[in-house]
């Protein structure tokens, strides 16, 4: 029988797994309580997030992680000596992936964080990306914060972002940027991607092409690298600066490449002579062996021949690479790559980096929205933007309070599309597009979980439009906006409660 099937009782499944684990009764009770709370909150969480797994997928992942990767859980009270290491690291829990162990505060949220953290995560990034370790750390931290949201920000009846439980606000925001643009499947696949068969980083770079997002992201990753990691990166940057200076004299650089190619071609010619002449190959084999120490001698002429063939392949690749580098487009790309690597180490105020990163993200988001026509996608991105607006960029500032982002323009595009489709998905309230946008934007500025349950009524006062907003029949808020247009421009009945989403 499969562990998971349709209509699962997850508490029962977890209980069976816990029977085989040597956890304390408190740990077992807390894990069961955690599952119960997740089930209770998940519907609201999924509506608000709109880029999440299904409840079954989420719970199955947690339970599977407990089964495979958790062998020891130690709960520590906040005022105990054992908790000092958690306070020092400013985390809810610490995990040891190799030993499959967890040290955690005795709360459901702390355990959820620990279970997310103990799961092996790869986030494959090529070795030649010099900020690899820092980016992987950001992605892992963002992944953990993303999983933590359901218990940290939702309680079964409300949505309230709990900053006290966020380990790193910007790591989370960067992860949410990627999640909004690429979706949950892409990010989950990247979590498990450990080989060169796929290169998600290349897809990310491609998506942000034409903006400064990736350049600014590199600055952020550099600043947030550990001092030890920074020293390694600085050494690589220094080598790249030398290389950049070297290639800046283009004619001299191309002359060096030509000379290198000639050297490799000569070596290639020598190898080809040996490989095509058995007698010369044998003489060379004997000559080489005479010069080598006893333990390093070639055992047969064929073993020596294989070494020559490998060298030949290496020289061919080097000649090919040098030839490609001489092509104008490749040379310019190589030069830009070096420039970018040097630039990100230049100092910039962290808060400016964080804000500029989101300015560039919104540019990309706007470009994506330009191509959206499908009704479901319009609604989908309205949810995503509402969620994104409520995220924090630092301890005091939400995204919606940063004026330079132009996020309103992105939402305006969506509202225009939603109201003006052949079969509209949003109710058009007044004929003036700008006023219509202002009304709908203010209606959507709500913590109502299910936006499609929003209803509203409209009343024209003297030079004002008064709007009252409901969640189904329950009052949520009201607001007024200036209105100088004729009464005939109002396209709906006044004093009548109507659904916003049609």
The whole-angstrom separation of Cα 381 and Cα 392 is: 19
Residue 489 lies in a domain: yes
Residue 34 lies in a domain: yes
Domain final position from 294, 318, 338: 338
Lowest mean pLDDT among 82-86, 119-123, 338-342, 441-445: 338-342
Residue 450 lies in a domain: yes
Domain final position from 290, 312, 338: 338
Residue 346 lies in a domain: no
- How many domains are there within the chain? 3
Q: At which residue do the structure tokens 């709109």 appear?
A: 50
Q: 1 pLDDT band (50/70/90 cuts)?
A: very low
Q: For residues 487 and 430, is the Cβ–Cβ distance under 8 A?
A: no
Average pLDDT for 162-176: 89
Where in the sequence is the domain holding 331, given as residue range(s)?
248-338
The whole-angstrom separation of Cα 427 and Cα 418 is: 8
Residue 422 lies in a domain: no
Helix, strand, coil percentages in the chain from 3-state DSSP, rounded to 5: 65, 10, 30
Calculate what percentage of the chain has a pLDDT beyond 70.
Answer: 98
Q: Are residues 2 and 114 in the same domain?
A: yes
Sorted by sequence, the CB contacts under 8 Å of residue 185 that are 6+ apart come out as: none
Residue 185 lies in a domain: no
Domain final position from 86, 120, 154: 120
Q: What is the pLDDT of residues 225-275, one digit of tens each?
A: 999 999 999 999 999 999 999 999 999 999 999 999 999 999 999 999 999
**DSSP one-letter code for 295:** G
- The torsion angles phi and psi of 473, rounded to 5 degrees, stand at -105, 0
Q: For residues 461 and 450, is the Cβ–Cβ distance under 8 A?
A: no
Q: What is the pLDDT of residues 455-496, one digit of tens each?
A: 999 999 989 999 999 999 999 999 999 999 999 999 999 999
Instruction: Show the 3-state SS of 140-179.
Output: HHHHHHHHHHHHHCECCCCECCCHHHCCCHHHHHHHHHHH
How many residues are listed for the chain in this entry? Answer: 502
Q: At which residue do the structure tokens 């002449």 appear?
A: 277
pLDDT of residue 3: 54
How are strands ordered across the β-sheet holding 454-461? 474-482, 464-471, 454-461, 498-499
Residue 308 lies in a domain: yes
Residue 108 lies in a domain: yes
The whole-angstrom separation of Cα 213 and Cα 363 is: 9
- Considering only CA atoms, give the Rg of the chain: 30
């Amino acid at each position: 029988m499969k562990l998971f099937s349709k209509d699962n009782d997850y508490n029962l499944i977890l209980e069976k797994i816990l029977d085989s684990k040597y956890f304390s009764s408190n740990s077992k009770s807390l894990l069961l309580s955690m599952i119960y709370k997740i089930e209770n909150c998940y519907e609201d969480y999924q509506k608000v997030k709109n880029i999440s797994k299904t409840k079954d997928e989420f719970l199955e992942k947690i339970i599977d992680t407990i089964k495979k990767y958790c062998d020891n859980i130690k709960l520590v009270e906040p005022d105990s000596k054992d908790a000092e290491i958690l306070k020092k690291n400013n985390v809810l829990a610490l995990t040891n992936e190799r030993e499959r162990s967890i040290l955690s505060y005795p709360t459901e949220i702390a355990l959820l964080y620990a279970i997310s953290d103990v799961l092996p995560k790869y986030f494959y990034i090529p070795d030649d990306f010099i900020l690899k370790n820092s980016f992987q750390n950001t992605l892992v931290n963002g992944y953990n914060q993303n999983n933590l949201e359901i218990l940290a920000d939702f309680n079964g009846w409300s949505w309230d972002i709990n900053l006290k439980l966020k380990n790193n606000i910007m790591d989370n925001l960067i992860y949410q940027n990627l999640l909004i643009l690429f979706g949950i499947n892409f990010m989950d696949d990247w979590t498990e991607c450990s080989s060169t068969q796929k290169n998600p980083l290349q897809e990310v770079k491609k998506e942000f092409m034409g903006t400064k997002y990736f350049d600014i992201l590199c600055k952020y990753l550099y600043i947030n690298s550990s001092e030890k990691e920074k020293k390694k990166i600085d050494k690589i940057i220094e080598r790249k600066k030398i290389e950049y200076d070297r290639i800046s004299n283009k004619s001299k650089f191309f002359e060096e490449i030509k000379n290198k190619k000639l050297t490799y071609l000569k070596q290639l010619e020598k190898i080809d002579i040996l490989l095509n002449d058995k007698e010369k190959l044998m003489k060379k084999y004997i000559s080489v062996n005479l010069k080598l120490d006893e333990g390093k001698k070639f055992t047969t002429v064929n073993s020596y021949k294989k070494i020559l063939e490998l060298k030949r392949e290496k020289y061919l690749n080097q000649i090919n690479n040098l030839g490609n580098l001489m092509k104008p487009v490749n040379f310019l790309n190589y030069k830009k790559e070096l420039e970018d690597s040097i630039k990100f180490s230049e100092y910039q105020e962290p808060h400016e980096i964080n804000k500029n990163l989101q300015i560039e993200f919104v540019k990309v988001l706007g470009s994506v929205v330009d191509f959206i026509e499908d009704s479901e996608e319009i609604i989908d991105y309205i949810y995503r933007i509402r969620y994104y607006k409520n995220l924090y960029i630092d301890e005091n500032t939400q995204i919606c309070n940063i004026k330079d982002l132009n996020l309103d323009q992105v939402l305006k595009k969506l509202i225009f599309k939603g109201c003006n489709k052949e079969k509209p998905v949003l109710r058009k309230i007044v004929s003036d597009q700008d006023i219509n946008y202002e009304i709908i934007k203010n209606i959507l500025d709500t913590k109502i979980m299910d936006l499609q349950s929003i209803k509203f009524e409209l009343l024209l006062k003297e030079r004002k439009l008064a709007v009252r907003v409901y969640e189904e029949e329950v009052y949520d808020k009201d607001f007024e906006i200036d209105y100088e247009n004729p009464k005939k421009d109002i396209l709906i009945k006044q004093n009548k409660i109507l659904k916003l989403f049609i």
